[in-house]
Amino acid sequence: MNFKEYRCGVQRGLPVGLGYFSVSFGFGAMAVAQGVDVWAATLISGSNLTSAGQFAGLTLIVAAAGLWEMVLTMLVINSRYALMSLALSQRMGERIGLLPRLAVAFFNTDEIFALAMSRQEPLTVPFLMGLGTLPFFGWTGGTLCGALAGSVLPGDMGSALGVMLYGMFIAIVVPPAKKQKPVLAAVALAMVCSCIVRLLPALDRISIVLCTVAAAGVCAALFPIPEEEESV
């Protein structure tokens, strides 16, 4: 493993790890308040690195929903990660095997994807693994701490910690949006699409996927990236 690349990824992922700790703290507190065991809540975060999916899944668990309803809900909510993984694979600077791909896909979240795509150099497996290390421990550790402290902190404080995730994501997106017009156009178009989709309750659960595909498709057509000619 290229430890220099891994260390660079760990350094880049530190702010995300801190932000994830605060958000998952709220998830852990909420899970325990809903009757979920401390270690069960921690296991959920350790095996499912997605905020929206976990909060939706917690709602279904509390409501005693069926297994297929849980599977379909998670598939719809988290389907955007498949699109993000496709984008990451096009930026990889080397051919990688199945197991590294699965590991990179597991760590792929909205914030990690934004940090990875903002890198100018080709993406490597050690860099992406380092990028996901602290967010993983922050997310899992925050859930554990939040679950243990769930009976102590008031519910409003746990919910307020979730706002930090949005602030962190804005801090990641704004700098490249200032420098690159295509990024700014994609962000603006995604915001417009999100407002439109919110007016259609039937599309609420797949709004993230629809906005992602629409914004990415339009900006890909308007601002195409020329492919490098293959060397003979």
> pLDDT tens digits, residue range 22-74?
888 888 888 887 888 899 999 999 988 887 788 878 878 888 878 887 887 78
Q: Under a CB-based contact definition with an 8 Å cutoff, are residues 214 and 193 in contact?
A: yes
Q: Under a CB-based contact definition with an 8 Å cutoff, are residues 177 and 184 in contact?
A: yes
| Residue partners of 135: CB distance under 8 A and separation at least 6 | 13, 16, 17, 20, 49, 107, 109, 111, 112
Q: Supply the pTM of this predicted model.
A: 0.70
Looking up tokens 């801190």 gives 18
Structural domain spans, the chain: 3-176, 180-232
- What tens digit of pLDDT does each residue of 110-149 get? 889 988 988 888 888 899 999 999 999 999 999 999 888 8
- What tens digit of pLDDT does each residue of 80-99 get? 788 888 888 878 866 778 88
DSSP-derived 3-state class of residue 97: coil
CA distance 88 to 92: 6
* CA-to-CA separations, 128 to 6, 101, 123, 155, 223, in angstroms, rounded: 7, 10, 7, 35, 26
